[in-house]
Amino acid sequence: MNLKETNVREIIKSAWRQGIIVPGFNIPYLPMMEPVVKALCDTGTFGLVMVARLEWIKFEAGGLSQVAKEFARWSKPDFVRLHLDHVPVIDEDNLWVDTTPIFQEAIRRGYESLMVDGSRLRLEENIQAVRPVVKRAHTAGIPVEAELGAVMGHESGSMPSYEELYASGKGFTDPEETRRFVAETGCDWLSVAIGNIHGAIAAGRKDLKKIEARLNLERLDQIHQAAGIPLVLHGGSGIQVEDVREAMKLGIAKINIGTEIRQSYEVTLKQTNSLLKAQQAVYERTCWVIDDFLGLAGMHGKVAGTDEPVRD
C-alpha cells in the first residue's frame, strides 16, 4: 500500500487490523506544526496533525484556514495527514455550536478526516447529529470519527476527582449502545471513554501536570466486539503505558496526544522567550511520545503493508 496515495480511512483500517496505533498530535499553536511533522518523518512513523475547535477558540491555532495553510508548508503525505478533531455539538462551555459551516469549510480546505462530537447529547440526539455529517463527508470521500460516552476534562467547571470518575464509570462508553450507534450513524472510527481523560484547558488548570489515567480494558474489549470498526483513544497524554499497549490489541487504532507536547511548547517559550527552543522542545517530546511511549518508531512500513522501516 502506497500511503502517499491512500485514503486515511484505509490507513487507519490497516493499522487496526494489525494491532498498530496511529498517533494524532493536536496543534494549538501554529509554530508546533513544523516540529511535529519533522518528528513523524524522522522517526519513520505515520501520524495525523490535528486541530480541534477549542484550539482556535481558546488557544492560538487561528482557525481552519490558518492551520491548513501552515500544514501545506510542511506537508509530507506519505507520513502525515490533516485531521479536524473535536467539533462539538455542545461545547465545553455548554453552548450549542453550528457545526455545518465548520465541516463545509474543512472539506473545502482539504482536511482528510473529520470528527463530530455529540458526546454531551443523549444517545438518540447524538445519532441524529452524527448521521448527516457522515453523509456529507462520505460524499466527499472523507472518513468521520464520532464519540460515544464522554471523555471528560475539557469542561470549564469543576470536576470530581479522577478516582471518583473512574470508580463510578461516569461517561464510560456502553457496549450495547455502541452497536446501535455504529450501525445507525455509519461512522468510520469511534472515540471511546474507558478511563481516559482530556488535559484541562480551563484557566488555572491547563498548566498542571496531567493525571496518570488508566483504562478499563475489559470494557474496551466489549466495546471492540460490539463496534466492529477502529476505535480511538482521546486524552492519550499521561495514560499508563502498559494500558496503551494492551489497548492496541483491543481495537484502538488511533491515539490523540495534546497536553504532552502543548505543555512542552508553553513552558519552554515562557522560560526562554525563544520560539526556536520551544519548537525544539516540541520536536523532542514528540519523538519521545512516538518512540519511548508508543514504541512506533520505524513502523511506517508495517502500516503500509511492508516489513521495511521507512524514514524520510
Q: Which domains does the chain have, with CATH numbers?
A: 3-303 (3.20.20.70)
At residue 157, the pLDDT reads 59
**Percentage of the chain exceeding pLDDT 70:** 92
* Tens of pLDDT, residues 55-69: 999 999 999 999 999
Q: Specify the pTM.
A: 0.92
DSSP-assigned states of every residue in 230-285: -EEE---TT--HHHHHHHHTTTEEEEEE-HHHHHHHHHHHHHH--HHHHHHHHHHH
> In this predicted model, what pLDDT tens digit does every residue of 113-157 receive, in sequence order?
999 999 999 999 999 999 999 999 999 999 999 999 988 766 555
Segment 103-116 shows an average pLDDT of: 98
> Tens of pLDDT along 205-217?
555 665 778 999 9
**pLDDT at position 152:** 76
Q: Which residues are catalytic?
A: 85
Could you list the beta-strand ranges (E) of the chain.
22-26, 47-51, 80-88, 113-117, 144-148, 189-192, 231-233, 252-257
